[in-house]
């Protein structure tokens, strides 16, 4: 259980090995979101992940004390491009036959990636 005088440290698995060894919890973006959704009111959390996600979690959970482990971290530029205008641009490009930034990988890697995507979509 959580101590009322101590924040639990929850990080994304892309953090350094050192951080992963020191944190209380590590998991995917959905793991971070679900953990905070299920956390008791009044609990304290120090989150190590993309800054915009931390800001959203703070807004969603005013009953919990949530801080970013790195408040000076720049937002993830790739994540910031995942918005409706960029999605529309990508889909329109595909529709016209113009593939933007094609990714080429070995067949085995592609098969494993496809399986991972299928599993994620099954849970969505």
Q: Are 26 and 10 in contact (CB under 8 A)?
A: yes
| Measured distance CA(52)–CA(79) in Å, rounded | 9
**Does residue 12 sit in the same domain as residue 51?**
yes
Please write the tens of the pLDDT for every residue from 8-61: 999 988 888 998 899 999 999 999 999 999 999 999 999 998 888 899 999 999
Is there a domain that residue 19 lies in?
A: yes
pTM: 0.61
Please write the tens of the pLDDT for every residue from 67-114: 998 876 655 556 666 778 888 988 899 999 998 878 888 999 999 998
CATH number, position 13: 3.40.50.10800
Q: Where are the beta strands (DSSP E) in 1-124?
A: 8-11, 25-26, 44-48, 65-68
Choose among 38, 51, 39, 42: nearest CA to 12.
Answer: 51
**Does residue 96 sit in the same domain as residue 61?**
no
**Does residue 54 sit in the same domain as residue 28?**
yes
Residue 58, class by beta-carbon neighbours within 10 Å (0-12 exposed, 13-18 middle, 19+ buried)?
middle
Domain count, the chain: 2
**Does residue 18 sit in the same domain as residue 58?**
yes
Q: Which domain holds residue 43?
A: 8-68
Is there a domain that residue 54 lies in?
A: yes
Geometric angle at alpha carbon 121, from 84 and 80, rounded to 5°: 30
For CA atoms 34, 112, 50, 92, the dihedral sign is: negative
């Amino acid at each position: 259980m959580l101590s009322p005088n101590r924040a639990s440290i929850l990080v994304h698995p892309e953090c350094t090995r050192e951080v992963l060894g020191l944190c209380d919890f590590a998991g995917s973006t959905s793991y971070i979101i679900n953990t905070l959704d299920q956390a008791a009111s009044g609990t304290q959390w120090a989150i190590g992940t993309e800054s915009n996600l931390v800001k959203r979690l703070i807004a969603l959970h005013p009953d919990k004390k949530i801080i970013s482990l790195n408040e000076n971290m720049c937002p993830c530029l790739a994540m910031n491009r995942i918005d409706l205008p960029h999605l529309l641009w990508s889909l329109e490009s595909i529709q016209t036959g113009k593939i933007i930034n094609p990714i080429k990988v070995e067949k085995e890697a592609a098969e494993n990636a496809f399986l991972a995507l299928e599993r994620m979509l099954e849970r969505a």
